[in-house]
Structure 1
Amino acid sequence: MAIYLYELSSSDYWFPYPEDAMDDPNGLLAFGGDLHPERIFAAYQQGIFPWFGPQEPILWWSPAPRAVFDPVSYRPSRSVRKFQRKAQYTVTLNRATSSVIANCASTRSTEETWLNEDMIKAYIRLSEQGICHSVEVWRGSELVGGLYGLCIGQMFCGESMFSTQDNASKIALWYFCHHFALHGGKLIDCQVMNDHLLSLGAFELDRETYLTQLEKLRAQPLLKDCFTMQTLREPNISRDP
């Protein structure tokens, strides 16, 4: 059966409506264009993101339903809270964004990762423009976990996370949810549900509800110091949220 997709122009940053995305594969909307930061930012503002494998053209997606976290009500598991009370992890914000993105790529197999060299460069450029942000988890001076994504008003679009030590990515999510909520953040988009996200407390929104929330939140500002470079938790000093 033939599949007909929108082909994006290289001369503008237009995207088709997310409602036009395919059901199978879920959310496939368009192909082509490029990974210019302005195009990627325009895509996220409309609930669309790039995701493609080796030897594939650039593919653009807007799946439904959408997996999300509510940062205001988010609570980690009892075991994670107990672990963190004993752990000597430090949690920081925007101190090593390039390293977090690189680790998200390198800790997965070639078959699992969509973070090729061009994608890595694109998100690093977005971080330099103050759009892409990271949370880092450290054991001493070693980066052992983290996450990154794009801020779209009061919504944060999580892209990927990694962990090389127990619970490091879970702790990154926990501290980020607390921090984001304190600064006016209302929703964290994590794209497509899987067992891991479900175990962390993610839930799903249908396309209409998600797009309505996105339209409302993308125009709402956060408190101005939300994404300044800072430490969210220091061992034996900071209380847990």
Structure 2
Amino acid sequence: MSDRRLTPELLLGAYAAGVFPMAETRDASEIFWVDPERRGILPLDGFRMSRSLARRMRSGRFRATLDRSFPQVLDGCADRDETWINGTIRDLMLDLHALGPAHSFEVWEGEKLAGGMYGIALGGAFFGESMFSRVTDGSKMVLAAALDHLRRCGFTLFDTQFLTPHLASLGGVEITRAAYRARLARALADRASIDAIAMDGDLQAVVQRMTHTS
């Protein structure tokens, strides 16, 4: 059962303060707030693109979209043996998507969802919540497309919450809580908009831009 004492407004206030929610399991009735001592971020100009990933993105088999299938992406992220996305978090994210701050990035192979990621945009900060992959490099392709789009729209901070080995291999780094909050404050003061430009679904163009600027 979802805990409806929590509201979208409360959740946005928590993100703006550097805190985010998690649940112990899918079936947990409560959530807890997390404020890591060391925070994971991925510099918007620091994505590491391997040759094999670049080849896959240039193949012409895949395309990227923004906000085409938010519920499907949210459920794809939760579709694993262990997940922190419970009913409360799912409902709140759907509410935030309807209100505007929550967004999904998708990568498609034909009409098949190959990978997805969702998160929350506030000012010039994007809080990447979770991602999933259904084909080889699916999550890497969606992350590359998202970073490219966010950078072109004027975002300055991409928050990954924690630093996993997977994210570290793609350019993610850890910073202290104090350093993160300073970056967050600057990003929240920015007036970036995820709709500032249209999403470029051409992954070949994404590769060209990202490898040219790296």
**Same fold, TM exceeding 0.5?**
yes
- Measured in 1, the distance between the counterparts of 2:200 and 2:132 equals 18
* 1:94-173 map, 5 Å: 94-106=67-79, 108-109=80-81, 112-173=82-143
Query: For 2:151, which of 167, 176, 181 is the aligned residue?
Result: 181
After TM superposition, what 4+ stretches of structure 1 lie above 4 angstroms from structure 2? none
- Measured in 2, the distance between the counterparts of 1:217 and 1:129 equals 21
Give, as a single letter, the amino acid of the residue that structure 1 aligns with 2:10: R
TM-score normalised by L of structure 2: 0.88
Aligned counterpart, 1:190 = 160
Query: For 1:233, which of 198, 201, 208 is the aligned residue?
Result: 201
Deviation at 1:168, TM superposition (A): 1.1
Query: For 2:10, which of 22, 36, 39 is the aligned residue?
Result: 39
- Say which is worse superposed, 214-223 or 146-155, in terms of deviation: 214-223
- Measured in 1, the distance between the counterparts of 2:36 and 2:6 equals 19
Contact 1:149 1:158 in 2 (8 A): yes
Aligned counterpart, 1:16 = none
Contact 2:144 2:206 in 1 (8 A): no
Matched residue count:
204
Cα pair distance change 1:173/1:235, threshold 3 Å: closer
Query: For 1:84, which of 53, 57, 77 is the aligned residue?
Result: 57
Give, as a single letter, the amino acid of the residue that structure 2 aligns with 1:49: F
Summarize deviations over 1:153-211 as a string: whole Å, max 9, x none. Answer: 11100000000111111011111111111111111000111111111210011111100
CA RMSD of aligned residues (A): 2.0
Contact 1:193 1:202 in 2 (8 A): yes
Cα pair distance change 1:80/1:235, threshold 3 Å: closer
Contact 1:69 1:203 in 2 (8 A): yes
For the residue of structure 2 that corresponds to 1:165, the secondary structure is: coil
Contact 1:148 1:159 in 2 (8 A): yes
Aligned counterpart, 1:210 = 180
Deviation at 1:117, TM superposition (A): 2.0
For the residue of structure 2 that corresponds to 1:91, the secondary structure is: strand
Contact 2:145 2:203 in 1 (8 A): no
Summarize deviations over 1:192-235 as a string: whole Å, max 9, x none. Answer: 11111111210011111100111111121114724x7x542247
Q: For the pair shown, which has the larger CA radius of gyration, 1 or 2? A: 1
Aligned counterpart, 2:212 = none
For the residue of structure 1 that corresponds to 2:49, the secondary structure is: coil
- Measured in 2, the distance between the counterparts of 1:103 and 1:63 equals 25
- Measured in 2, the distance between the counterparts of 1:192 and 1:162 equals 16
Q: Greater relative contact order: 1 or 2 (C-alpha under 8 angstroms, separation 6 or more)?
A: 2
Unaligned runs of 5+ in 1: 1-31
Contact 2:121 2:194 in 1 (8 A): no
Q: Identify, as 1 or 2, the structure richer in helix.
A: 2
Unaligned runs of 5+ in 2: 210-214
Aligned counterpart, 2:22 = 51
Deviation at 1:239, TM superposition (A): 6.1
- Measured in 2, the distance between the counterparts of 1:235 and 1:61 equals 34
